[in-house]
Amino acid sequence: MAERKERSSSVRVALPMDLWLFGATVALVVIGLTLVYDSSYLVGIAKFNDSYYFLRLQALGAVFGFGAAAAVMRAGYWRFRKLGNALLPAAAALLLLVWTALGKEEHGAHRWLRLPISWQPSELAKLALILFLASAFAGAAGGRIRSADLWWRVFVSSVILGLINAEPDLGTAAALFTAVFALIAVAGVRRMELLKIVGGFALLFALASMAHTHRSDRLKAWLHPEQFNQGIGYQSYRARLAVGTGGLVGVGLGSGKEKYTLPEIESDFIFVNIAEETGFLGSALVIGLYMIVGARAYRAARLCKDRFGQLLATGLGTLIMGQAIINLTTVTGVLPATGVPLPFISNGISSLVVMMVSVGLLLSIAQHPTPPMRSRA
């Protein structure tokens, strides 16, 4: 009788898949494939004599991403609880390798590894750090986090964020910090300690911004766009003009002009193409899809009965939303330009695969708000 009761308690009851979260993700990926081709076919012809070059890479990332998301969802998010402990040191080692002969430098940044397909270790570090923190805080006795444990995790987070910032990639570090802060806040940390964490990281980000000349130049270009409409401020200046010319319905898909002159438009500045060619309505659709993803992620966190699932959904949802907000605000000129891809849409296999794995975990949390008793124990 006891054995039967233990067996029944370990069986998970699965809810239907969250179609809102899944549908919004699929829509964003499809939009990304369409806009990557639309904004990159000329660059593909010029550099590789292949108009489909970037589309093929993005499609490959989508295939791997959907496969990884399906595998993660089928396995169950609780099986990845201890993965962060092993994944985080590996991610830190990869972040250091970008400075070796295995690293690849582009435009003065060391963000990629020389693999058959360029890979950004910072993308893996995002997922690893969130898994690590969610597991650590979920294991706090009685839900109370000791001060020593908290500051040790804050120190580990600072190391990872510092390695990402040193590439330099302040935008990705800022997006990951929003996820880290949200996760720590939901974990039940005292308000005074939260204020210390915010103040400490704000000081570090300010010092990091002043340590690099190009960041201070970007700040000047953001404050005075007309004076720096060439050189370092060229992208931001042209992006503002393109967003403003889209109007209500845009100039038409494929009819935009900025893709002929704006560098890297298929990557960090792809929203410029969206705004110019589809106008306010297309831009509102994309923003609405991100709002759906964020809302469903936080809903999964709220309904989950497992502390690890709550923290993981909060961190992943905030990561996706934070990265999208930073990208959109920099492209439209609300914030200074940073190199942050638009989730699911910007060209980049590593970013797309990690985002899809994150959605797979969120779908698993939404489908299994009450995981097996053994996993919770």
How many CA atoms within 13 Å lie on the side-chain side of 259? 24
Q: Is the CB of residue 320 less than 8 Å from the CB of residue 127? A: no
Q: Is the CB of residue 360 less than 8 Å from the CB of residue 127? A: no
Residue 1 pLDDT: 42
Residue with tokens 């302040």: 170
Q: Is the CB of residue 112 less than 8 Å from the CB of residue 145? A: no
| Residue 56: band (very low, low, confident or very high) from pLDDT cuts 50, 70, 90 | very high
Bridge partners (DSSP) of residue 256 are none
Bridge partners (DSSP) of residue 109 are 106
Averaged confidence pLDDT in the chain = 85
Which amino acid would we find at residue 267? S
pLDDT at 374 over 60: no
- What number of other Cβ atoms are within 10 A of residue 152's Cβ? 12
Q: In angstroms, rounded to a whole number, what is the distance separating the alpha carbons of residues 4 and 6?
A: 5
Mean per-residue pLDDT, 278-297: 96
Any idea which of 35-44, 107-116, 126-135, 361-370 has the lowest mean pLDDT? 107-116
pLDDT at 4 over 50: no
Q: 372 or 346, which is more confident?
A: 346
Mean per-residue pLDDT, 48-69: 94
Name, in order, each residue with C-beta under 8 angstroms of 62's C-beta and a sequence gap of 6 or more: 29, 32, 33, 352, 356
Residues 250-263: pLDDT tens digits? 888 888 888 887 77
